[in-house]
Structure 1
Amino acid sequence: MKRRFWVISLSIFMVFGCQPQHDPINVVGNSWLGYQPFYAQHKLNPEQQPQGIHITMLVSDISVVRMLTNQAASVAMLSLDNAISLNSRTNLDLCIALAMSSSDGADAVLAAPNFLPELSKDGPIRVGMEDSALARYVVSRWIEEKSIDETRLQRHILLPTGHISALKNNDVDVIATYAPFTQILAEQGAEVIFSSQEIPDEIIDTVVVRQDAWRLHKERLLSFITHSWDTALREAQTPDSDVFKAMMKLSGLSATELRTTMAQLKFYDSQTSREFLATRYTEVSNIVSSHLAEAGLFSTPRSLPVCEGVLE
């Protein structure tokens, strides 16, 4: 009887004890539309992602950075400028695993209609913006392209969820923001005075990973940025799919509004991402790093390399 017990115990150990254990991988990002295919997929079809992947949509980039720096997350969806700035200012030692999309009008500076005549004058401009490298980058490129004296700017730091009410309540004169807030503000009468269409391929959305986590979870993360992303993106670009409908709810946009806003993004599948990272990434990252350094976000840029094995 005792021998039988040990045989049964050994069998149970072999069946259950030898199963591969998957350490959790925490992925974070803000509410940006370009990240929402992953959010919707994670909610509706978690089986389409590698085991142990946990994705959380946070309120702002400030929260994303906090999760990365306190090691509560090892993977983040960030714009390239935010990723370069963070990597240059910290010892997180990040690498870029995926180029998700390029902004083609989805990031913009909008003005209250009654303030438009004031733009050409010399008075102060109250600028509402998130406290992020991306917002600072967009504002710096706006004043550069439109020849606006920087000393006129009075920056008001706001969470993205407060952008609409701030302009509506006349708390600010212009807002630097992104979709879906750009779409909502435009529908309420705000005027687009600058957008990422004027700086093509400078605002790139990425998946970045702490390199120690990449080495530890490389196979699962490779699957995440290829099979999982390609599946999520394909469904997000299919009207009436469950993922598309979930994105409507996440963004608060109608089907027509969502299609219009998504058209302001050039999405990259995993193959297009690899092509971009292999051919144009170095040039684009150098341009972005130069502007960020000039804006005073850091003194010396630190290289943000492509994660090992992504280009193979």
Structure 2
Amino acid sequence: MRVGTNVWPGYEPLYLAREQGFYNHHIKLVELPSASDVIDALRMGHLEGGALTLDEVLSLIQEGQDLVVVLVFNISAGADMLMAHPDIQTLSDLRGKTIALETTAVGALMLKNAMDFAGLPDGSLRIRHMNLSDQLRAYQSGKIDAMITYEPFSSELARAGARILFDSSAIKGQIVDVLAVRRTVLEKQPQHVRELIDGYMQARQLMQTSPQAAFAIMNQRLRLPDEQVGAMFDGLELPDTEENRRLLNGKRSPLSRTAEGLAQLMVKQKLMPAPPPLKQLTDPRFLPESS
């Protein structure tokens, strides 16, 4: 069972589980340079599952990939943010300014909610789509006034003087990272899916009971300054087994309802042509009995 990930704090417990020997040789974690590479590998049939944001799962389902969400890795509760030049004091001050964001549903969701909070109508900002890695240079050269971003890019922007005006703690529950697996794999390899999730939950528990030891093991792979390892998880909620069961349980589970709203936004923002069929999007059967 091959599971693709890119580098993101919420996925790190998978690698901690691997380092702790919680996985046998049937489970292979495949680290790829970006989420786009994970998506492409799923499209080409090179992976049985992938760690993705919910909007990415919806896009793949809309294309015809039959994926099921079996685990919620994390919920953004401040990790995604809108930052702006210090002269811009409030969200309302963004009127007529230029804001940079990625061409993703997460970027669209953050922008829509920030504008709603400020009472700004559509068309009141100039929008530029760009990669997060290009935002700092654009900000320093005065080409953009604000951006939607996250770590590690937000720390670089803060050092350049940008301030946080809005973050995902205001819309908690809407930006979610999940484990999506092919429906056929659930039927053919259920024991491997259970082992994958069980190992993840054991690693998550280790992070709570022995954080310094867990972070030290993680950093053998990440090679970050020691103080940055724990800080990676600031603004993220990692649901335990019981919360996962609540989010994934039922024909119209809480996560399915979130997905329905997200799909409508993605259609409105022209990120997909039509809402995908979301019959049996989530399945809690592979979660451990308890946390």
TM-score computed with the length of structure 1 as normaliser: 0.78
Q: Is the 8 A contact 1:102 1:267 kept in 2?
A: yes
Distance 1:223 1:199 in 2: 32
Q: Quick one: structure 1 residues 276 and 308, their matched pair in 2 at CA, closer, same or farther if it must change by over 3 Å?
A: closer
Establish whether residue 157 from structure 1 lines up as the match of residue 157 from structure 2: no
For 1:220-299, what aligned pairs fall within 5 Å after superposition?
220-225=192-197, 227-237=198-208, 238-244=210-216, 246-247=218-219, 250=222, 252=224, 254-255=226-227, 257-278=228-249, 280-298=254-272, 299=274
Contact 2:70/2:248, CA 8 A, preserved across alignment: no
The more displaced of 244-253 and 300-309 is 244-253
Higher mean C-alpha displacement, 215-224 vs 236-245: 236-245
Kindly indicate whether residue 184 of structure 2 is the aligned counterpart of residue 212 of structure 1.
yes
Mapped contact 1:77–1:205 kept (Cα < 8 A): yes
C-alpha distance in 1 between matches for 2:145 and 2:264:
28
2:115 corresponds to which residue?
143
Between Structure 1 and Structure 2, the one with more helix by share is 1
Distance 1:269 1:290 in 2: 28
Residue identity matched to 1:189: G
How much does 1:165 deviate?
Answer: 4.3
Percent of counterpart pairs with the same letter?
22
Given candidates 28, 31, 37, the residue that maps to 1:63 is 37
| Runs (4+) off by over 6 Å | none
- The match for 2:86 is 113
Residue equivalent to 2:61 = 87
2:148 to 148, 161, 176: 176
**Highest CA radius of gyration, 1 or 2?**
1
The structure 2 residue matched to 1:185, chosen from 148, 157, 161, is 157
Matching residue of 1:14: none
- Paired with 2:271 and 2:147, the residues of 1 have a C-alpha distance of 20
Segments of structure 1 that go 5 or more residues without pairing to the other structure are 1-24
**Superposed displacement of residue 268, structure 1:** 1.3
Please tell me whether the aligned partners of residues 92 and 118 of structure 2 are also in contact (alpha carbons under 8 angstroms). Answer: no
Query: Aligned to 1:240, what secondary structure does the other structure show?
Result: helix
Listed as ranges, the gaps of 5+ residues in structure 2 are none
Secondary structure of the corresponding residue to residue 209 of structure 1: strand
Does the CA contact (< 8 Å) of 1:229 and 1:269 recur in 2?
no
For each residue in 1:18-77, what CA deviation from the matched residue of structure 2 results, as whole angstroms up to 9, or x when unmatched?
Answer: xxxxxxx221122221112223443x33x2124232223333222221111111222111
Report whether the alignment pairs 1:78 with 2:49.
Answer: no
Deviation of the 1:168 alpha carbon: 4.0
In the alignment, the residues of structure 1 paired with residue 266 and residue 129 of structure 2 have an alpha-carbon distance, to the nearest angstrom, of 19
Q: 1:121 to 1:67 in 2, by over 3 A?
A: closer
Q: CA separation in 2, counterparts of 1:64 and 1:171?
A: 31
| Match 1:101 to one of 70, 74, 97 | 74
TM-score by length of 2: 0.83
Q: Secondary structure at the match of 1:98?
A: strand
Amino acid at match of 2:258: V
